[in-house]
Structure 1
Amino acid sequence: MKILLRCLWCGDEFKKPRYEYNKALRRGHFSFYCCKPHSQAHHAIKNARRCEHCDTPMPKKAANRFCGRECITASRNHPEKPCTMCGLFFRPKSSRTVYCSRPCADKAHSIRMLGTGNSHYKDGTSYSKWFKETRPLIFERDKDACVVCSTPFQPITYERNGAPAQKSNLIVHHIDEDPANNRVENLLLLCASCHLVHHKSAVTPYPWFAEYTRQASESMTSKWKATATSLLTAYSSTTA
């Protein structure tokens, strides 16, 4: 004779001989399963160590106190404090956390790297600053357009540190591919497509770049040339 039972793991009904059922009760077993794998699966969870924060079973993790990183963080009851960048109060993940988010951390790092905070700072001169000050001269000389296909300048709006910002659709390209060499003869304007064609080609289809920049720079006004010469003198040490 068989008795109808319900599996404690999957919930399905199954039949078990009455003598086996009675034997299990006499041994103090009150949980029944339709098959051995379901019995093993349930016992693995039932006897597993539980997370100290959320009480979730952790099979095969007897040495762990928490089930994951979120519970580890939540278990640390650090008091709220203000973000040193934006002033917003937040609950830090550790006692050393000083920023409420990655954007705030990135913004603070950018500020620290300006001027004397940068390990590469040398008397206020650097090739990146030289490039930044020379860039407007290149746009003026090349008439705000790609020197290959004449694509005109167009501002592109994007988001930076949570605020709208703008950048150019044109790229100031280094002919010798040395970012430290920011002489006007080494720089020219390219659109993204022409810039990609140049770099992806085994041999550049634009071998006339150097001759173009030399002639274009020579044809500029004396004021433009004086500005370019002044920048070269100020930043000549950065090419050493």
Structure 2
Amino acid sequence: MNSGEAFGMLGREAVYRAIFTRRDIRSQFLPEPIEDEVLARLLMAAHHAPSVGYMQPWNFIIIRDMARRRQVRDLFLAARQQELPRIAEERQALYRTLKLEGICESALNLVVTCDRQRSQNSPLGRSHNPQMDLYSTVCAVQNFWLAARAEDIGVGWVSILDREALKRLLDIPEHVEPVAYLCVGPVSAFAAQPELETKGWGKRLPLSDLIMSETYAGAGEHSLKKVADEATNRGAFTAGS
């Protein structure tokens, strides 16, 4: 069925290309700014993410000041040092070599937050799952990330941060949750494979191993799994992470 608004082949390919070639950028940022017109488009894409109950719980804190960014990087370095002992001893040497942020190298930083009071009088979709505002905000992050890839703008998500320390530094109210700290800017290149894969930290799990039928771990869907494996083997799905 064609609704008259269906994507053509080139449109579909563009969507999948953005998905499969998106990368978590840390090392490839260029010393170039982002035009306000481009940044506005990316934020508009984020603002059009799905949100349960149409709650739209997100806000976007743009951080350009280098002194503030250095303070955030100090938070990252402290948190990374705290995380190191939790890494398996045989992997700690590899962990130390990984570049896991581009806080000061990127054109700007962006914090995507979730205002947990914004929909308190409208429980639609949250009565049985009060975390849906957080999940909705993550959808906004994904929209931003994919739109950025289409604009050749790199994005890196810095998750190694002390949440409470970050809130104090950025004057974030108690009822607002910082969901994502993003490094954003033009890049020299997008890697063919995820950096954590090329560095030997991990590899993408086979899709067919993750497909279940009817119940958790339920056997079945053999035809679907075969198609997924064949597509992966012939390179129809380009890894993205």
TM tier relative to shorter chain: under 0.3
Q: Taking structure 1 as the reference length, what is the TM-score of the superposition?
A: 0.23
Report which of the two has the higher share of strand: 1
Which protein is bigger by CA-based radius of gyration?
1
